[in-house]
Amino acid sequence: MKMGLQEVDWEYVGACLANEDSIAQTAFFKSFVKECRSWGTVFQDQRQLADTNNKLTSDEKQCLSMIGYEEE
C-alpha cells in the first residue's frame, strides 16, 4: 500500500504513536505486520526489518526489544 505523492512526517507519527495506549500501538504493529505479509515472502519482511535494524542505535534496539519478546 504505497502512499504515492503524499509526504508523511514519520517523526511526528512516531511521537504520536509513542503517546498512545497499548491498544492503539498494538493496532499499528498488527497492521504493519499484515502489510509486510502481503509482500509475498518472509525473506522480504526479514530483509526490510534487517535494514531498519541496522539503522537503529543500541539504545533504540533495547527500547524496542519487548515487542518481540516471548515468554517460555
pLDDT in tens, 16-50: 999 999 999 999 999 999 999 999 899 999 999 99
Residue 54: pLDDT over 70:
yes
pLDDT value at position 69?
Answer: 85
* Crossing angle (nearest 10°) for helices 42-54 and 22-37: 120
Give dist(CA 63, CA 4) in Å, integer: 31
Residue 3: pLDDT over 80:
no
- Radius of gyration from C-alpha coordinates of the chain: 14
Percent of the chain with pLDDT over 90: 81
User: Where would I find the H helices in 1-72?
Assistant: 10-18, 22-37, 42-54, 58-64
Residue 71: pLDDT over 80:
yes
